[in-house]
Amino acid sequence: MTELPSRRLLLVHAHPDDESINNGATMARYAAEGAHITLVTCTLGERGEVIPPELAHLTGAALGQHRRSELSAAMAGLGVQDFRLLGGAGRYSDSGMMGLPDNDDPACFWQADVDEAAAHLVEVILEVRPQVLVTYDDNGGYGHPDHIQAHRVAMRAAELAAESGWTIPKVYWNRVPRPVVEDAFARLRDDLPGTPFTKAASVDDVPGVVAGERITAAIDGTAHAAAKAAAMRAHATQITVAEPYFVLSNELAQPILTTEYYELVRGERGPGERETDLFAGVEEAS
């Protein structure tokens, strides 16, 4: 077995593109520093809305395969080599937005048995032995069923892995501090006429926004802003990028955040008011 680097980060996301929007700068930074980054994506996003007209014919399995190729391109741009689909390609399908009939599909991720799905993630955890796990909060950031289920599966897998011999020292949830995103949207309102976008989103459209005091870690990825934007641009079915802004299929502009924020929910917090390194205090872990 190849010896893994001393720092190992595991991220669990619902669909291709979530990782680049939420953690692209963090992933690029740690990959550049030589850490081992493992991304586990739970579905291929087969029910996502497609933005470019020339790709609008893609639906279902065909869209999923296309989004898998987009994920590969995004990871190449971020320098991440270890990215996987939970349980293998096609094991769990996209559940659609909350409240739609898609949620009732027996093959969708929302309908998966949590312990069964977590068992697939436990295999990854025991293989790579991450010191840091990043996932969503218990509302999945914004209430999407696949995001909520990704949270449940990730947190349960951490428990089961501990029972099987590997306790992940630190678990973080993706967060955005309200003051930061409010300032970013104020700049967007001023800049909007000079962008290709016509309308701005609002702070409430951003997943995971919380009061500033909830934030325990701020990862400065400014040096990797171009890599994050390129990774987001690789997800062309889902995202249109005009740096430093982007839109999803709702065509509402949002800022691209290159400092990414987290809330530590398990483990010992590093020194200082806010950590600047997710590995603070665990870099020497085996």
- Burial string for 30-61 (b: 16+ CB within 10 Å, else e) reads bbeeebbbbbbbbbbbbbbebbeeeeeebeee
Is residue 13 marked as binding? no
Which positions ≥6 away from 186 have C-beta within 8 Å?
none
Is residue 17 marked as binding? no
Classify strands 199-200 and 252-255 as parallel, antiparallel or unpaired: parallel
Is residue 147 marked as binding? yes
48 phi and psi, to 5 degrees? -70, 150
Classify strands 259-266 and 217-220 as parallel, antiparallel or unpaired: antiparallel
> Residues comprising the binding site for Zn(2+)?
15, 18, 147
Binding-site entries? 15, 18, 147
